[in-house]
Amino acid sequence: MTNTALYSNLIDRYNAISFTHDYIFGFTYKGNVYACKTTSKVLPYILTLDKASRGAGYAIRFKPNTAQKLFLLKDSEVICSVKFFDEMVAESKYNRGEIFEKIITEKGGQAWEKDNLKFTEAPDAIIDGIGYQIKFEKATFTNEKSLASLEK
């Protein structure tokens, strides 16, 4: 299987079992943290095929390059400065993705708490009646080993 076919296969398999197909992607650009509300239709344009760790085959990740950030920017809003965001992360026990999820959830008028629900079971947040998966740059969507396990 070529890398292009593998990439498409992983995205298709992920979408087939994902609880929601609505996303809020977070990324940094020129000193700000942005959030982009979108759907799974953009996944082939903004994800990256990468080697997974610990022998789990290949993974699909949200690691946007500048062109991909510019693609997302047209439908994005500024959430905060990178400086403020980094301070929040430094003062917390949570990672960048969790802090971004917390900011977005609270901005949506809800209390946030860390959970370990699978992407097949529930969205990360429900905002204005829409369930969203929330991903911040460098997030791993899934890998071949996890997909095979979840598809059983």
Structural domain span for residue 124: 3-147
Q: Which of 119, 113, 151, 117 is nearest to 132 (CA)?
A: 119
Domain count for the chain, please give it. 1
Give me the pLDDT at residue 53, please.
87
According to the model, what pLDDT value does residue 115 have? 87
Element at 144 (helix H, strand E): helix 144-150
> Measuring CA to CA, which residue among 138, 105, 124, 33 is closest to residue 76?
33
Task: Note the pLDDT of residue 1.
Answer: 63
- Measured CA to CA, the distance from residue 129 to residue 16 in angstroms comes to 22
- Compute the distance between CA of residue 86 and CA of residue 88 in angstroms, rounded to an integer: 5
* pLDDT score of 143: 94
Query: Quick check: is 152 in a domain?
Result: no
Would you say residue 83 lies in a domain?
yes
Question: Is 8 inside a domain boundary?
Answer: yes
Residue 53: both structure tokens together: 């760790």
In angstroms, the CA 13 to CA 86 distance is: 34
Residues of the chain whose pLDDT is less than 70? 1
Q: Is residue 102 part of a domain?
A: yes
Residue 135 included in any domain: yes
Q: Is residue 59 assigned to a domain? A: yes
